[in-house]
Amino acid sequence: MKKGKIKFLTYPLVVLFSGILLAAFVSPTESTETLDNWDIPAKYKEMKNPHAGDKSLDRVGKMLYAKHCKSCHGNVGLGDGPKAASMTAHMIPFNDAKFQAQTDGEIYYQSIIGMDEMPNFEKKIPDEEDRWALINFVRSLK
């Protein structure tokens, strides 16, 4: 009788564990994330980067990235910083071709104006030149 009971429990448990085991190998839903949910105003899309290619700003961009972005976006922008795990949004890696295909103005809007979990940095990085320095750095992470 007892044996039967255990057997009765065994099958569901085996199914459950094998299910969990299999689930571990299934990669999480492929990033549907994307840049589609960004509704970027035309004003930003057409924005020109007045400091594009300005090498003198390299260090500034790097410093700003380390201070403001690294904790979520990770050392090289893969979206794997220490805070990333606790976020609901999935961060697109900066080396993604789709991300890099955007205009500087679009990256400016995403980086400085933000949306949902991506905070607004207008007050934290008030200087226009510094903002472009940061965008130049993000561009370099391809």
Partner 1 sequence: MKNYILMLLLTVMPFSGIFAQEEEVKDKPVRAPFASGYLIDNQTTMIPIKGTLEFAIQHKFGTIENGKSDFFGIYAPAANIRLALDYVFFKNFQAGIGLSKERMYTDLNAKWTILEQTRENTIPVAVALYGVVAIDGRNESAFGTGKTWHSGEGKTEFDFNFPDRLSYFSQLIIGRKFNHWLSLQTGVSFTHYNLVDPEFDHDKIGLHFNGRINFSPQSSFIFNYDAPLKIQQISEQLEVPPHHQSNVSFGVEIATSTHAFQIYMGNSKGIIPQDIMMWNSNKFSWENLAFGFTITRIWNF
Radius of gyration of the chain (CA): 22
Which of the ranges 90-98, 100-108, 109-117, 125-133 carries the binding residues for partner 1, by CB under 8 A? 125-133
Which helix (H) or strand (E) segment holds residue 91: the answer is none
Among residues 18, 31, 50, 124, the one that binds partner 1 under rule CB under 8 A: 124
Nearer Cβ to partner 1, position 46 or 122? 122
Which residue is associated with the tokens 């910083």? Answer: 81
Among residues 9, 13, 14, 66, the one that binds partner 1 under rule CB under 8 A: 66
Q: How far is the CB of 97 from partner 1 (least distance, A)?
A: 27
Binding to partner 1 by residue 63, rule CB under 8 A?
yes
- Tell me the CA end-to-end span of the chain in Å, nearest whole number: 65
Binding to partner 1 by residue 71, rule CB under 8 A?
yes
3 state SS of 118: strand
Integer angstrom CA distances of residue 95 from 2, 29, 73: 59, 20, 12
Where do contacts with partner 1 occur on this chain (CB under 8 A)? Answer: 59-60, 62-63, 65-68, 71, 123-124, 126-127, 129-130
